[in-house]
Amino acid sequence: MSNIRDIAKEAGVSVTTVSRIINNHPYVTEEKQLAQKILKQTNLPDALIVTNDAHCAGLYAEFQNQGIKVPEDIALISYENGELSQVNNITSIDLPLLQMGDRSVELILSDSATSEELPSKLIIRKST
58 pLDDT exceeds 70? yes
- Given a contact cutoff of 8 angstroms between Cβ atoms, the answer to whether 55 and 48 are in contact is no
Of 8-12, 60-64, 102-106, the least confident: 8-12
- Would you place residue 20 in the very low, low, confident or very high pLDDT band (cuts 50, 70, 90)? low
> ∠ at Cα 19 (67, 48), nearest 5°?
45
Cα(39)–Cα(66) distance, rounded to whole angstroms? 9
Which of 58, 103, 94 minimizes the C-alpha distance to 76?
58
Q: Can you name the residues that pair with 60 across neighbouring β-strands?
A: none
Higher pLDDT, 112 or 14: 112
- Would you place residue 21 in the very low, low, confident or very high pLDDT band (cuts 50, 70, 90)? low
Q: For position 32, what pLDDT does the model report?
A: 78
Does the pTM surpass 0.75? The reply is: no
